[in-house]
Amino acid sequence: MPVLASHRKPRTKVRTTTPAVGFTTAALASVTLLSTQSATAAPAEPKPAIEDVQKKVDELYRQAGSATQQYNRAKSASTAQRTKVDTLLSDVAKRTEKINEARRELGAYAAEQYRTGGIAPTATFFLADDPQAYFDQSRLMSRSTERQQKAVDDFRTQQAAASKKRAEAVQSLEKLTETQTALRSSKQNVQTKLTEARSLLSKLTAEEKARLAELERKKEAEAKEKAEKLAARQAAEAKEREAAEKKAREEAAKESGGGSGSGSGSGTGTSPGTGTGTGTGAGGSYAAKAEKVLAFARAQIGKPYVWGAAGPSSYDCSGLTQAAWREAGVTLPRTTWDQVEVGTRVATSDLQPGDLVFFYDDISHVGIYKGDGMMIHAPKPGANVREESIYYMPIYGSVRPA
Neighbours of 285 (CB within 10 A): 13
17 pLDDT more than 50: no
Can you say how many angstroms the Cα of residue 234 is from the centroid of all Cα atoms in its chain? Answer: 32
**Active site annotation includes 115:** no
H or E element at residue 50: helix 50-116
φ, ψ dihedrals at 354, nearest 5°? 100, -20
Q: What is the pLDDT, as a whole number, of residue 272?
A: 40
φ, ψ dihedrals at 372, nearest 5°? 60, 30
Query: How would you classify residue 342: left for phi > 0, otherwise alpha for psi between -120 and 50, otherwise beta?
Result: beta
Can you say how many angstroms the Cα of residue 72 is from the centroid of all Cα atoms in its chain? Answer: 3
Q: What is the dihedral of CA 335, 337, 343, 344, to 10 degrees?
A: 150
CB 293, CB 324: distance < 8 Å:
yes
Catalytic residue among 377, 392, 399, 401: 377
pTM, entire model: 0.65
256-298 pLDDT, tens digit per residue, is: 865 444 444 444 444 443 333 333 445 579 999 999 999 999 9
Catalytic residue among 64, 293, 294, 317: 317
More confidently predicted of 337 and 165: 337
More confidently predicted of 114 and 123: 114
379 pLDDT more than 70: yes
Nearest to 289 by CA among 344, 328, 332: 328
Q: What is the pLDDT, as a whole number, of residue 137?
A: 60
CB proximity list for 351: less than 8 A, separation 6 or greater: 234, 357, 369, 390, 398
316-373 pLDDT, tens digit per residue, is: 999 999 999 999 999 999 999 999 999 999 999 999 999 999 999 999 999 999 999 9
**Active site annotation includes 377:** yes
131-158 pLDDT, tens digit per residue, is: 566 556 666 556 656 766 676 677 777 7
User: What DSSP character marks residue 353?
Assistant: T
Cα-based distances in Å from 339 to 178, 265, 308, 310, 348: 24, 43, 15, 14, 17
Catalytic residue among 187, 193, 289, 365: 365
